[in-house]
Chain A
Amino acid sequence: MTAIAETSYPRAGLPRLARIELRKMADTRAGFWLLLVVALMGAAIVTITLLAGEAKDQDLHSLFQGALWTVSILLPVLGILAVTSEWTQRTGLTTFALVPERERVVAAKVMAAVALGVAAVVASLVAATVGNLLAGGSWDLPTWLLGQGTLFEVLAMLGGVAFGLAFMNSALAIVLYYLLPTVWAILGETVHALDKPANWLDTSRTLEPVLDGRLTGTEWAQLGTSLGVWIGLVLLIGLWRLRRTELK
């Protein structure tokens, strides 16, 4: 116990907060199992490709693509839960009492999400490498796939964080996150007028070519536009809500 003038306690820097947020994603029962399932799914797709896939898919390039795509399916849930558990598990009462600048907590979560996205790429590459050692396929790996693959995983995590923050509720955020592409698909195909905008706003369309080949200028623009809305705008709405919300 010391008077405030005598000692100053520096607040935790963002890198430390980000490491803590990363730890919080894995130190709960749900987080641990989710991570394990994501890893097992990545390993499983590589195994299945080796056992039952066509010979042309049994090389580093294809195995890596397959692992990246599979891992990205559940990754957003980790991003969502990293945010929404502060409300559904009410840990926000502690988190935001210890770090009252709420934007700093969000920044730390975003950094942790990016780190986990990168980790997913590394894990996918390890799985693909082990697979290819067994398959004996080509070791060619284009650099664009490393770059765009990393972007793909990081965006999956960030999408989860954005949805989690905007809805502050696990069930709602998860359902809407996974329902959205379906809604677009139905709308884009049934309502003719929406077909063109869908090319710019439907993330399932704009993300599709990211793992398949080097993106063209138009594809970059479409990807940027759709993610500006579904990650950028949604995150801003979440931040706006967070600023004024009451933590109970």
Chain B
Amino acid sequence: MIAVDHLTKRYGSQLAVDDISFGCEPGTVTGFLGPNGAGKSTTLRMICGLTPPSAGAATVLDRPYHKLDNPGRRVGVLLDASAQHSGRTGREVLAVSAAVLGVRPSRVGELLDLVGLSKSAARKRVGAYSLGMRQRLGIAHALLGDPSVLILDEPANGLDPEGIYWMRGLLRDFADRAGTVLLSSHLLTEVEAVADQLVMIGNGRIVAQGAKSELLAASGVIVRALDPAAMHEALAEAGLTATPGADGALLVEAEAEAVGRAAADAGLVLLELRPADTGGLEQLFLSLTREEALVA
């Protein structure tokens, strides 16, 4: 149960997070999507009380994070897997936090087993870990206090395909046991498979949010013509708005028939004309990423 209410973060004249509101319910996985630098991490840090917001507020389990009695027992947080002391062993990292949380020390071993860090890996110092191992340690750390809410920033970064598959199962299972999961990613495909709800941000603002099923069934069609520029023009003449995507594909918010007629009237050769399934979201996501690239 996470409620984000008009969160805003301003650095000087720059708005890193601009009036963001969303909620996460028990039993669901929320994917928090956006290109790098969109404001995802800042938002997650504000939820966890590590970054003071310029405006707005966030609650976890109906309270501001810092008012939770023993936050690690309520909320499992993984904000950056690399933010661990490089000279401490993996097992010791968990043991120290277990002591802070007041959980029995045997949980350390159980969680190392759960995330697949072997005994010898746990004895190594974190400085010698690969990013994938750090993510596994970070996930073990987040689960240490047996929380009912998980907040994970880019947990799939550095995991191999098997690891990503494993993590999906773990998060799905966590949510199915009435847990609340909020995870961020800059890759749509990464969260698509596990999320029930999506919140997409770009330049600090929410650009799309809702149930995954609704968002992915976004209205519109994808059309790809031999001459994309001419197709774009033809659509504009027909009064249809099109958003350019990858490979010269265009996302058009119209019926397939209207698009087909526009192409026929202009005498254009079509290569593809289909309902925009995941495409709608993907096009939006890609256009966001492209904007970022242009700004940079």
A contacts, CB < 8 Å to B? 1-4, 8-12, 16-17, 19-20, 23-24, 27-31, 85, 89-94, 96-101, 244, 246-248
Interface assignment of B99: CB less than 8 Å from any CB of chain A: yes
Question: Which of chain B's residues has its CB closest to A12's CB?
Answer: B100
Q: Identify which of B61, B72, B87 contacts A97 (C-beta below 8 A).
A: B72
- B50 surroundings in chain A (CB, below 8 A): 93, 96-97, 246-248
Nearest A residue to B46 by beta-carbon distance?
A246
The answer to whether A248 and B96 touch (CB under 8 A), given A4-B74, A31-B87, A90-B80, is: no
Smallest CB separation, B87 vs chain A (Å): 4
Closest B-chain residue to A246, C-beta based?
B51
- Does B97 reach chain A (CB closer than 8 Å)? yes
15 A-B contacts, Cβ less than 8 Å apart? Answer: A1-B147, A4-B63, A9-B69, A9-B74, A12-B102, A17-B100, A27-B92, A28-B87, A85-B85, A89-B85, A94-B97, A97-B50, A98-B97, A99-B100, A246-B50
In the complex, which range does the number of interface residues on chain B fall in?
A: 35 or more
Give Cα A93 to B177, complex, Å: 27
Asked whether B6 is an interface residue with its Cβ less than 8 Å from the other chain, the reply is no
Q: B96 near A20 (CB under 8 angstroms)?
A: yes
Residue pair B87, A9 in contact (C-beta under 8 Å): no
Q: Is the interface of B mostly helix, strand, loop or mixed?
A: loop
Contact, CB under 8 Å: A247 / B45: yes
Given contacts A27-B92, A246-B50, contact A10 B100 (CB under 8 A): no
Closest chain B CB from A164 CB (angstroms)? 15
Q: Does B65 contact A (CB under 8 A)?
A: yes
Closest-CB distance, B123 to chain A (whole angstroms): 13
> Which of B71, B88, B177 gathers most chain A CB within 10 Å?
B88
A98 & B80 in contact (Cβ 8 Å cutoff): no
CA of A2 to CA of B179 in the docked complex: distance in angstroms? Answer: 9
Instruction: Verify if B52 is at the interface (C-beta below 8 Å from A).
Output: yes
Partner of B125, one of A3, A29, A101, A246: A29
Residues of A within 8 A of B49 (CB): 96-97, 100
Which chain B positions have C-beta within 8 A of A96?
49-50
